[in-house]
Structures are given as structure tokens and as C-alpha cells.
Structure 1
Amino acid sequence: MASSAPSPQREGTASAQLNGAVPPSSIPQKRTLEDDHTPAVPSPLNPEAKPKVQFQAPEEAQPMGREKRAKKDSLKKRESKATSSDSARATPDPKPKEPPEQLGPIRYRLPPPKPSDFELPRGPVFSSHHEVQDSEGRTIEFFETSDHVYNKKNFHYTHCIADPAFRSSFYYRQTEPPPYGPHMSFEDAASHMFFDREGKHVTTEKGYRMSRANVAVREGRWFWECKVTRGILRNRREDEMESHGHVRIGFARREASLDAPVGFDAYSYGLRDISGQKVHMSRPKPFFPPGEEIREGDVIGLEIYLPSERLHRKIVQGTYNPAVDHDDDSDLPPEAPNIVRDRIPIRFKQHIYFEKIDYHTTKELEELHNPSPMSTTHNTEPPHPNHPVPAMRTLPGSYIKVYKNGKLMGTPWTDLFAFLPPASKQAQQSGGREALDDGSLGYYPAVSVFRGGAVEVNFGPDFWFPISEEDAATDGTKTKRLRPICERYDEQIVEDIVYDIIDEVDFWMQDGGKDIDRGRDEKAETAGAGREEIKELFQDD
């Protein structure tokens, strides 16, 4: 936490301050005859020297020839002095008051919605780009998506709609556009990526790009599949190239960069098609047996396990005790997460979105990813559940398993990084609020494609290679049911509805427990005493 004492005012140059000099006045002064060449500060070569001019702090230095005047300390400096000198006599307030911004979501004074705001949201505009043949002989048509917003510049966007049942002055709630169901997100993807109409096939003609799914997992056991439709050739002839591109498959958090492959940083875990290597923080390591790699037609299954959010919160809050805390909380009452969603509706090309501040990378994980000998804050202590830095704490028992064509290949990663606040942080907001959980945190299924590489995702419930009970019960998590990602999508929709209702009740009570007279508001707008229109967002396609 930054000190409350103000920075000293700049007076004169640094060299002048070190030599005991004072800033010159506006009137030139002659040098006094009593001055000699005695150094202002004793040195090892002249230890007996006594400086003629005593060093003064910049705040006490006065112009020559002028009478020194008493300077009144600022309020912050007086409070700082009182804290250091009178701490024994100071009596802290037993109930410090929280700023109003800490008590609930930020309020925005919005204009009444337009009639078009009540219409169902539309998906992106699809423009046919090219067709490819997969290893099974199927023709896949890829489209360029346009007229939609991208998650970038530290902001996250979700579709919203005006609802006549919401009687407060906020008016809007979250919604989903077609295609409905779990799929790779058109908004939460890098530019220059191409999709099919269902959002299940992904490719690009550029370098590595990443796309996250529109659903994230926060606790429990989950499974999804990914089929390589264009990649390393399985049976290459002598006159053929070695591959049609490359792919990487894995999981990524909100902080992971979209303009990089999965596994590039500490926020994602990826599996590389070449040699079947595992990649985390840009460090490829052997995983598949020698001679194995991921080729066209292969189906990669990914299973992830995360402990309960109750245990997760203990870890990030620093109260986790491995001797007594365990993941089996079935005998404990349910504990709801504290979700706070600060968001505002914006317009973009006939669409209405909620704009939220996204989560950003932390210094500690950036240094762990790129260790530098010049860094003075790099922590050499490895990540673990009780690490002094929240971002470096891990989830005990968590793992990611990999299956190839239905066969368990192993567990490349265990003890995944924690993601609940304060392990994840948003940019500083008004009122000093930070480390909020807006419900979007978690591990997202993610794929990266490179120069023609293409994949098809399958979030269930009908998998190409269902996991057998023998493989699913190989460890202590056998009591946790292995669930398809599609079920998590349904849970996410229910959570959004519940959080929208909670926000609406909160806003309704802040409005005095009365329904807003929208007709009256519209008349005020017409009279010129209304509020500004919802802002229009501009992004480069």
C-alpha cells in the first residue's frame, strides 16, 4: 500500500541538493567572503572536515537573502506524523466506515431504452471465406465473422437486452445470441480467425491465434473433446507437405493472451501437436511417448478437476490449513459466491453489450513466466497453496488429464493456479475497489490454430470417445461425477439469471423501492433535462 505522506517538492537540481546548495532567488547574490573551499559533506579523504553549510531537506531550503517562513504541513503529512509519533495514544475507529462504492454494483444514470433494445440479440454476420476437406472427406465451410465486438483493450463484453420486467432505472439484463449452446466464442477470440456457423470449427491463415469457449469451469470434474481436422498429415505421400498447419489444445483463464498459443503464459495450459508436448509458460516438455504426436483425425479428450469454491476461497484468502481443510464439503451448508458485476450497456453496430473491466496479468506471474536477473521483486519460492503472494497460490488436488482417441495418456498438469480474487485482479476502479469476482473467472476450454490448422470441438453430451469407468475412477476424485461441458453451460445461464435478479432487486431498493415511471422519464428527455445516450463503441474490424 502506498504511503500517505506526500512526495517532497522539487526545488533546485539534485546536484545542488547533495552539495547543500539552495535554489537561487530571483535577485542575483554575491558570494560571501567567509566562504572557503571546505567540502559541504565530509568524505573518507577529509574526515575532519566540518561543513560550513548544513544540508537542508528540500522542503526546508529557503532562498538566500530571505527570511525563513514557517511552512504548514499538508493534511496527509500531519496524519502521517500522528500515525508514527502518537500511535500509542491514537484510538482507532472501532467501526471504520466503508465508502458507498464498496456496498454494491456501480450505478449508472441511463436513458430509457429504445424500442429496438427489447428485440432479441443477433449473432455475428457470416461471410463465406473458404472451404476445406477434413481427413474423413467432409467439406467444412469457414466464415469470416463481422459486426460484433472483440474482447480487447482490458474490457470484456457480453450481450444484453432491455427487459420490461426490470422496473429499476438500470433496465437491462444479460442474454445469449444464436447459435445457442456451448461453442467457441466469436467475441472472445483473436482477430483473423474463421468459424463455422455453429462455432464448433475454428481455423486461421495467420500465425498462432487463440479462441476461448463461451463457458468456464470453476469447480468439479469436467470433460470435452477436440478433433484435429487440419494439421499434421497422418499418411503423407512423398509429394505432399508435412502438415496443413498446427494446433494446440487446452485450458485458459481470462488473463491469457488471445494473440498467442495456448500455454504461452502462466494463465493457460496447452498440448502441442508436434511430439505431443505439454506447454506451460512457453516451456515445451515431453509428455506423449516417443514417436507419438497429434495428427489429422485424432480426437483429444481433456478432463479438468478443480476443488470446491469453498476450499478455493480459503486458499486465496490465506486461511487454508492442509491439516484440517479438505475438498469433501458435502456435509457443509452451501456457500454462495460474492458476485459483483460492475457493467454498463454500450452500443456497437446495432448490438447492445454489457461492458465490464476484464482481468489483467499480475507482476508475480509475469516474472515467473519471464524470469529476469535484473528483477528485484522476483520471488524464488515456488508456487504452493500457502504462498505469501495470492497470485502464486495453487489448488491442491487439481489436475488436467489428456486422452487420445479414448485412451488415457496421463496427467500433464497438477496443482493448477488459483483464479479467484485476489489471485486475479481487475484494473483499479472508482472508489478504490479491486479484486472483485464478476462471475466470469474460471478455466475456459481453449484452442489455438496456426496457418491453416483447424479443429472441431465437442462439448457433449455425445462424445466421439466416451471415457470408461476404469479411466474415470483412477484417483481419489472418483466420487466426483465426470460431467460434460454442456452441463456447465446450462448452469452458467442459471447463474446469470440469478445474478441479474439480485442486481435488479438491489437497484430497485436504491431507487426507493418504487417502479420507475418510464413515460415520465421520456418526457424529461424530450424537454432537454434528460441523460446522455448510451455511448457508441468503435473498434477496428
Structure 2
Amino acid sequence: MATEIGSPKGESTPGLLAFVSAVPQKRVLEDDHIPAVSSPLNPDVKPVQKFQSPAFDDIQAAMSREKRTKKDSLKKREAKGGAAGPDSSRATPDPKQQHPQNHHEKDAPASELAPMRYKLAPPKPSDFEQSRGPLFQTHHEVQVPDGRTIEFLETSEHVYNKKNFHYTHCIADPAFPSMFYYRQTEPEPYTAHLNFEDAAAHMYFDRAGGHVTSDKGFRMTRANVSVREGRWFWECKVTRGILKTRAEGDPESHGHIRVGFARREASLDAPVGFDAYSYGIRDVAGQKVHMSRPKDFLPPGEDIREGDVIGLEIQLPSEHLHRKVVQGQFNPAVDLLDEESDVQQHEAPNIVRDRIPIRFKAHIYFEKIDYHTSKELDDLMNPSPMGTSGSIGSSEPPNPNHPLPPLRTLPNSHIKVYKNGVLMGTPWTHLLAFLPPASKLEKQAGGRECLDDGSLGYYPAVSVFRGGAVETNFGPKFWYPPPGLAGYTPSSSQQTDDVDMIDVHASPPVQTATVSLTSVELQPVSERYDEQIVEDIVYDIIDEVGFWMQDGGKVVDRTVKDEKAGELAGQIKELVQDD
């Protein structure tokens, strides 16, 4: 059967066959008619090729000609997370350029392959200098209800987390003797704040990363800390939003806001609560939003207006219980009792970070592949009879023992909301799990997709719309400290009973045993920032020991030259990214 050039493989082309059959062909001269010995009349004996007409030869040549490989544009290559080669602006290599070293690696699954090891050039003197934050340029000023004037600044000269890549600051360390040279670090301000790199474009901050606004449509920024287990609290004040009181001729609002928690997979170019990876409270009617479905939460007639302070408390089970859930080993009859009695094992998480240092203007960053959305949660948000998760995913709601890991939920997890110091209720319980395999990294060359790189968790998140502005407070001193906060004694006028309020609007959850973790202490998110710094230091040391052992357990001569190139081996590539 013939195949038309440029047509889908396997489709017949009757016209071409008819044309070929119509071409007159001569009888084929068989090989056994060739004389075995040369003669004066036939001195050069050569096998006689089968003869076809020139027209047929042209057609065969056209059909057998190798198809031209269409090259992707730079945008497509960056979106796929690959690199075009030595001149690429990305530090991450192209998976197609990877060749297995032996047949064992070729047959092994990608998750079992060791990550690619890069040979880097010696650091520049500037690489040892302390990391710097973005450059600030005044964009506009606004006056907030309490009479203050807030200067909002445009940030530049820094990289954004986008196109499936995640960036953290790093610095060269002379105490690291391996060929890797670099460790993670933090620029000023040295506290929990909104992350300048982990934000959508066209968002404006103050210098401390506490205020945020935008003159565009809804977009989001996450904090620089994530919550993985325990009870944590933060609050925010609406500085620009729905007006508290309106005079004649005043607009209804100066913009809109949403606040809540978001995972790494949540889109920055959408509001909190847009997808299955974030939970948000909306200022209009005080509604709760998850998967773009607003539902009533605050009492009727209650809005979130300028000057209001919204407190958000999140509770997550221990990572030990969390891992049992995502690995399909959760037994509510046993594990919940162990969680309450605090007898569960406290093994350390297995953190693996596949990353590479890159340069962006005056900064050095670690670049690594970020986590991607899952088809199962996409189907949960937009259910379809032909969904990728099949009949199981469409018929069974999320629960701790769901057959699909992304749809497993965390027992004893919830988010509480306070307004001006008063507990409004618990809009969400049984939050979705986030540890692998519930979350997966984008596939990369030499990397592993089902790993915990330490960045997973629920991040405090803020969204603003058309002039809306929010001031965040991660503690330890809060405007309205909640009951049960570590080191805080509530006044008699404040509510002291730590009671989970029932959400009448939620669909009935899957029946599982519940245990109140009253022994878990409520902490400010600012304390989590200190914990995260300690974790980064420990993981850096572990990585350095691993690389040092790969280098033979000795200090590497960083002045060695590559024999083939005749120059210093390796390089740190420059990242090209629009501000």
C-alpha cells in the first residue's frame, strides 16, 4: 500500500496507485541471465538493476525522501522546558539530547535514573557576594483608610517563576569543596513576606514585600514560606477594596481582593481559588471559592471591606500521616489514634533537589523544574463523562483512601477564617494532599518527576484586581491574635473555645473517623520562615556531601582545564526572561 507524502501514516492514496500502474514498464532482466565470465563484448560484468520508468523512479525517490523535521519556536521550546542546544537561554538541557550510557539505563524507567551532573566553571568573585533583591522604582502612591500613604513600587532586574520553572537565590560558598560550589540563600528582607519572584507580572509591592496591588485583572502572588504540617496563622488587611462608607458620587470600590492558600501548581495568572490547587475568600459577599465555584460563607450582607482584617488559620496532619495517605497505606482506625496520641514515627522527609545555578543579570539563581497540574484534578474541576480519570475518578469524591493519589485528602486538615478577630467558621476541611505522588514534577532530562524537593506545601496567597490592595502580616505580632496562638493569652472578650464550625454549604464528606488535634500549638507563619531556613541549610549540606563523595572525597581543583576545549570546563548559562 502506498502512502501519500505529507498525509497521515497508513492512509492509502488511490490516485497515486492508479498513476503508477498506468506507467509502461519493461520486463525485468533476471540476475541468472548475466554471463558468469566476461567476454570481449561484455568486459565489465555488473548486476543489471531492475528497470522502471523514470517517472516511477521520481515518485519512489519522493516517497522515500526523509521528511523535514519542523523546528519549534523559542517560545515553544521554553514552554516545553527544554533547551535548543549550546546557545539556548535555558540552563536545563533538552531531553532529546540525552543518550543512555548503556543498555541498562536505556531500559530503566526515567524515575530510576540518576540526575544529570553538570560540570561548572569556577565561580566569579561576584558570586560570593550576598544575594540582592529586585530593583525598585516608584509606580504610584495611595492613601489607605487609616491615613497612611503607601508607596507602591515596580520590581525589575529579577526573574519570575513561570514556564514550569521555579527559581531560588543561591551563592557560591568557599566552604563547599565539591564541583557544585553553590548553596541556597535569601536576600533582604530576612523575614516572611510576599515573594517577588513567585508572583505574576504587573504586581506592585512595597520594599518590605508586605503590601501588594495591581492595576490589571486578577493575578496572584504567594508568600516565600510554605506550610507542610501543623497549625499556622497569618492575617491581612484590606487597604484598597470595597468602600466601608460611600458618599454621593463615590465608586462602589477601589478594586477587589481575594486571600487564602495555594499550592505550587496553582496558576499565578488567576485569582486564589481559581483551580483545585488553591482555596480563597472573596471580598464580594464574603464567599469562599475553590475550583472557581463561589459559595456563600459569611452571613448574608457581610462583605469584606476596606479596613477589615482577615485572619487565616490552616491545620495539616503530620508528614508521617500525609505520606501514608499518598502511598495508599492510610488506616483511619489506627493511624488517627496514633496521630492524636503523638506516637507516630517522626522520620525525616526524603528531599531530593535536581537544580542548576544560572545567571540572570546581576543575580545567581537555582533553576529547577516546577510541579505541574494533574489530569485527575483537571477532571475534578471540569467533570466530563470521558474524563482521563475514568469512571472511578468521576464517581467517587476526594477522600483519604481514593484510588487516585491526586484525589486523596488529608484527615484532620482544615482552614479557618477570622474577620476582625472573630471566628467566622471553617470553610474547608479535608484539604487535598500534596506530597508525591499526589504532586509530580514536570519531566526533565536526567531528572525524576515523583520527588519531594522541599518546596511543596500550602503557601499564603493574595490576589488583587484593578487597584485592590492588601497588607499582609505574618506575625509574630498580629492586629487580632487568634485564640490558642503560641505565647498569647486572649482577653475575656475574645472567643476562647477552639471549635470547628460546621460548613452547611459543603457537600457531605466521605465518612471517616475524625480526631481533634487540640494538642497541636497554633504558630505564626513567621516562625515557619525560620524553620524553612534551617531546612535549606541542612539540605544544602546533605547535597554537598553527596557531590563531594561523587568527586572522590577530595577538594576539586577548580582551575583544571578541559583537554578537548582547552579552556575552563563548564559554564553557567545566562537566562533570558522578559520582566
Partner Cα separation in structure 1 for residue 518 and residue 183 of structure 2 = 38
SS state of the match for residue 498, structure 1? Answer: helix
| Offset, 1:325 | 1.1
Pairing of 1:47-196 with structure 2 (within 5 A)? 102=112, 105-196=115-206
What residue identity is the alignment partner of 2:143? Q
Aligned to 1:13: 11
Q: In structure 2, how many angstroms separate the alpha carbons of the residues matched to 1:273 and 1:11? A: 55
Match of 2:405 in 1: 390
State the match for 1:317 in structure 2.
327
* Aligned-residue offset at 1:428: 1.5
CA distance in 2, matches of 1:260, 1:311: 31
> Which deviates further from its counterpart, 122-131 or 473-482?
473-482
1:108 deviation in Å?
1.1
Whether 1:342 aligns to 2:354 is: yes
Equivalent position of 1:473 in the other structure:
498
Q: Deviations over 1:317-347 (max 9, x none)?
A: 1111111112236334420101000000000
Residues 389 and 350 (structure 1 numbering): CA distance in 2 closer, same or farther, change over 3 Å?
same
- Equivalenced residues, count: 462
2:552 alignment counterpart? 512
Q: Measured at CA, do residues 249 and 331 of structure 1 come closer, stay the same or move farther in structure 2, by a change above 3 Å?
A: same
Which of 272, 276, 294 lines up with 1:266 in the alignment? 276
1:533 maps to: 571
Distance in 2 separating the partners of 1:321 and 1:388: 14
Q: Structure 1 residue 373: deviation in Å?
A: 4.5
Give the C-alpha shift of residue 171 in structure 1: 0.2
Q: 1:414 aligns with which of 398, 404, 429?
A: 429
What corresponds to 2:76 in structure 1? none
**1:212 maps to which of 212, 222, 231:** 222
- Deviation per residue, 1:7-26 (Å, 9 max, x gap): xxx9752698xxxxx98997
CA distance in structure 2 between the aligned counterparts of 1:157 and 1:468, rounded to whole angstroms: 36
1:494 to 514, 522, 534: 534
Gap change, CA 1:527 and 1:260, over 3 Å in 2 = closer
Q: Which amino acid aligns with 1:227?
A: K
Deviation for aligned residue 1:477? 2.3
For residue 424 of structure 1, report the CA deviation from its aligned partner. 0.4
Matching residue of 1:94? none
1:99 deviates by 7.6
Find the counterpart in structure 2 of residue 93 from structure 1. Answer: none
Q: Per-residue deviation at 1:430?
A: 2.9
Are positions 1:280 and 2:278 aligned together? no
Provide the residue aligned with 1:290 in structure 2: 300
Q: Whole-Å Cα distance in 1 between the matches of residues 564 and 363 of structure 2? A: 24
Amino acid in the other structure paired with 2:435: L
- Do the aligned partners of 1:104 and 1:340 also contact (CA within 8 Å) in 2? no
Distance 2:231 2:141 in 1: 36
Aligned twin of 1:237? 247
Runs of at least 4 residues off by over 6 Å: 22-30, 97-101
Q: CA deviation at 1:107?
A: 1.8
For the 8 Å contact 1:131–1:141, the answer to whether it is kept is yes
Distance 1:533 1:166 in 2: 18
> Displacement of 1:448 after TM fit?
0.2
Partner of 1:430: helix, strand, or coil? coil
For residue 439 of structure 1, report the CA deviation from its aligned partner: 0.2
Further displaced range: 414-423 or 327-336: 327-336
- Distance between the aligned counterparts of 2:341 and 2:23, measured in 1? 80
Give the counterpart letter for 1:235 in structure 2: T
Paired amino acid for 1:530: L
What amino acid sits opposite 2:468 in the alignment?
G
Shift in Å at residue 526 of structure 1?
Answer: 12
Matches within 5 A, 1:21-60: none
| Local SS of the residue matching 1:325 | helix
Mapped to 1, the partners of 2:110 and 2:255 lie a distance apart of 53
Normalised by the size of structure 2, how large is the TM-score? Answer: 0.76
1:341-377 deviation digits (Å, cap 9, x = unpaired): 0000000011000001000000111111122355464
Determine what percentage of the aligned residue pairs are the same residue. Answer: 71
Between 1:98-107 and 1:163-172, the stretch displaced more is: 98-107
Instruction: Report what 1:455 is aligned to.
Output: 470
Alpha-carbon distance change, 526 to 229 in structure 1, aligned in 2, over 3 angstroms: farther
Q: What does residue 236 of structure 2 align with?
A: 226
Q: Secondary structure at the match of 2:335?
A: coil
Letter of the 2:411 partner, please give it.
P
Match of 2:213 in 1: 203
Provide the rounded CA distance (Å) in 2 between the counterparts of 1:307 and 1:14: 60
Q: What RMSD over aligned residues (CA atoms) do the two structures have, in Å?
A: 2.5
Extract unaligned runs of 5+ from structure 1: 1-9, 17-21, 31-96
Asked if the contact 2:220–2:463 (Cα under 8 Å) also holds between the matched residues in 1, the reply is yes
**What's the offset of the Cα at 1:427?**
1.1
> How much does 1:134 deviate?
0.5
Q: Partner residue of 1:47?
A: none
- Classify 1:418/1:11 alpha carbon distance in 2 versus 1 (closer, same or farther; 3 Å): closer
Aligned partners of 2:115 and 2:447 also within 8 Å: no
> Which piece of structure 1 moves more, 466-475 or 113-122?
466-475
Helix, strand or coil for the counterpart of 1:116? helix
Against the structure 1 CA distance between its residues 538 and 431, is the aligned structure 2 distance closer, same or farther, given a 3 Å change threshold? closer
Instruction: Give the match for residue 4 of structure 1.
Output: none
Aligned 8 A contact 1:12 1:23 in 2:
no
Instruction: State the one-letter code of the partner of 1:534.
Output: I
My pick for the range that moved more, 318-327 or 370-379, is 370-379
| Residue 433 (structure 1) aligned to one of 444, 448, 453 | 448
Counterpart residue identity of residue 350, structure 1: A
What is the CA–CA distance in structure 2 between the aligned matches of 1:526 and 1:140, rounded to whole Å? 58
SS for the counterpart of 1:411 is strand
Single out whichever of 474-483 and 274-283 deviates more from structure 2: 474-483
Q: Is the CA contact (8 Å cut-off) linking 1:408 and 1:471 kept in structure 2?
A: no
Corresponding residue SS for 1:507: helix
Q: 1:165 to 1:283 in 2, by over 3 A?
A: same
Given that residues 251 and 444 in structure 1 are in contact (C-alpha distance below 8 angstroms), is that contact kept between their aligned partners in structure 2? Answer: yes
CA distance, structure 2, for counterparts of residue 530 and residue 454 of structure 1: 50
Mark the CA change 1:454 to 1:100 in structure 2 (over 3 Å): closer, same or farther: closer
C-alpha separation between the residues in 2 aligned to 1:246 and 1:219?
31
